[in-house]
Structure 1
Amino acid sequence: MDDGLQSIGVFAARARLSAKALRLYDRLGLLSPAYVDELSGYRYYRADQVERARLVALLRQLDMPLARIAEVVEADGAEAADRLAAYWADVETRVAGQRTLAEYLRGRLSGRSSEMYGKFEVGTVDVAEQVVLTETRHTLADELPAWIGASLERLTAAARECGGVVGAPFVVYHSEVSMESDGPAESCVPVADEAAAREWLARHGRTWETRVRVEPAARLAFTRITKAQVAHPQILAAFEAVEEWPAGRRLEVAGPCREVYFADWDAAGPEDAVCDVAFPVR
């Protein structure tokens, strides 16, 4: 055995870690001993492994997932720093969202719900029956925005072969979409020609859970918001404002909630693009 190796006890003291932590890092593949005695099972480390051991411990204090810790410690110099920066940017985005959610919940718990809902102007609109080309998916909240954009792009391209798009695209939430609940959600694009849409579907099969259906005429209770308000929990407050709308107490919710997007949604800025959040009512 190399005389330059240190026992796990000596190495743990130098790295300011416990032997238990070193065994965990070994088991996780983050820091393996330089040598393991086959007979005794004793672990030995090199002095130049101290820096890696301390780095792993510090990254663990950031609540960094083990897989991302491995990416950082295996990278070199600037790349490792960039990986850490990317992780921390994700953390700050998540914490900012949680901070906003906490403020929203404080308002609800303190009885200020009506004050929050009063920020939204709610009305009703009658929507005629329409043929829609749809795509349905079970998805969690973190994947939802990307899927909505991609699915509506696919459906819009298909609609051009079915007489064109004849109404605002919308997404129906058949059940809650959150980090614990995966819906499903259904992207919908109104098309001009039902026969052409069904022919298109027959040619393309059921890729992406696509289908054609007739959306019945309905009265929608809705409020209009900007793209900047779509982030959770602002959009949650908008939906609840529609549900708690005073006039809505004389109406009965008749279907799942939805978001209706307008033509300039993707191109416009966060304060200019608008969508309706709505419930069918009767």
Structure 2
Amino acid sequence: MTEDAVVDVPDRDLLTIGAFAARARLSAKALRLYDRLGLLSPAHVDETTGYRYYRAGQVERARLVAMLRQLDMPLARIAEVVSAGDGPAAAELLGAYWANVEARVAGQRTLAEYLRGRLSGRSSEMYEKFAVETVDVPGQVVISETRHLLAGELPTWIGASLGRLESAARECGGVAAAPFVVYHSEVSMESDGPAEACVPVADEAAAREWVERHGRARGTTVRVDPARRLAYTRITKAQVAHPQIMAAFEAVEEWITREGLEQAGPCREVYFADWDAAGAGDPVCDVAFPVS
């Protein structure tokens, strides 16, 4: 006897897995998988045979699960959507998921175009749009936070850490120069840095006192960043996104080599503009390398 066979069940409204699969336009194998994953449980399971039975009212949920799986939606998110039922809550969950998918695909598309340019030998053409200059930066006292983190965590952390440090700087004589982030080692999807967020302050004594009173618990420190000559290129808010910013870093590295200079320290991003107020085409950041 197969699982599709008609057997005596308490409720004649129940459908065998085969009949239900036909109505839902799915396979019995898929229904067994949904049951195992906790996405769609049978209305009744025969204790003796183990056969599964479903109600006609479960057809729409079965079809919904199948379509959500076609979107490559993670199982946990599918469970949230189907549990929300029909209505705005479920639609909002789906919308949020798909917005993230589109953002990820857009980033991957840009990365693919960037890599295509590199692999085809057109790197020099990509670098031409970045004008590189040098600037002498005096030594400055900074309060800083250092964190090991991956590339996906970086944008949120930069905004949060610089916000905390700028707030602290107001009690340390004020912000003395543009905040910056130093990359002491590579930050990528596989490498976690560390990165150091820095805000220059006007009053070193007040900064050290503030760190003693408030900052040690979250790893805030005070140090003197020495005078440096920086080779840098200025980029817009849109270019800060990955992988556009990679091309900016490489353009500066290529310029340093071409000019016969040497890198003299870890690279950095200097944020000189109000990020929230800036538009996509507004300059907001200098991508820089110390040189000698």
TM-score, structure 1 normalization: 0.93
Instruction: Supply the AA of the counterpart residue of 1:35.
Output: H
Query: In 1, Cα distance between the equivalents of 2:35 and 2:176?
Result: 60
> Which of 126, 130, 140 is the matching residue for 1:120?
130
Q: 1:119-268 maps to which residues of 2 (within 5 A)?
A: 119-245=129-255, 248=258, 250-268=260-278
Instruction: Supply the AA of the counterpart residue of 2:209.
Output: E
Q: Offset of 1:127 from its aligned partner?
A: 1.3
Aligned equivalent of 1:67: 76
1:79 aligns with 2:89: yes
How many residue pairs match? The answer is 282
Q: Judging changes above 3 Å, is the alpha-carbon distance between structure 1 residues 15 and 180 closer, same or farther for their aligned structure 2 residues?
A: farther
Question: What is the CA RMSD across the aligned residues, in angstroms?
Answer: 1.7
> Which of 13, 17, 33 is the matching residue for 1:8?
17
For the Cα contact (< 8 Å) 2:231–2:256, is it kept in 1? Answer: no
Q: Which consecutive residues of structure 2, in runs of 5 or more, have no partner in the other structure?
A: 1-9
Aligned equivalent of 1:281: 291
Structure 1's consecutive aligned runs of 4 or more residues displaced over 4 angstroms after TM superposition are 246-249
Query: In 1, Cα distance between the equivalents of 2:74 and 2:222?
Result: 42
* Equivalent position SS for 2:151: coil
* Equivalent position SS for 2:141: strand
Instruction: Name the stretch that deviates more: 232-241 or 135-144.
Output: 135-144
Query: In 1, Cα distance between the equivalents of 2:153 and 2:283?
Result: 21
* Equivalent position SS for 1:220: strand
Query: Cα deviation per residue 1:200-242 (whole Å; 9 max; x = unaligned)?
Result: 1111142332111111221111101111211111111000000
TM-score, structure 2 normalization: 0.90
Q: Which consecutive residues of structure 1, in runs of 5 or more, have no partner in the other structure?
A: none
For the Cα contact (< 8 Å) 2:273–2:284, is it kept in 1? Answer: no
Aligned equivalent of 1:93: 103
1:105 aligns with 2:115: yes
Aligned-pair identity in percent equals: 80
* Equivalent position SS for 1:161: coil
1:34 aligns with 2:39: no
Query: In 2, Cα distance between the equivalents of 1:148 and 1:276?
Result: 15
Q: Offset of 1:178 from its aligned partner?
A: 2.8
1:52 aligns with 2:61: yes
For the Cα contact (< 8 Å) 1:134–1:188, is it kept in 2? Answer: yes
Query: In 2, Cα distance between the equivalents of 1:164 and 1:26?
Result: 60
Query: In 2, Cα distance between the equivalents of 1:41 and 1:181?
Result: 49
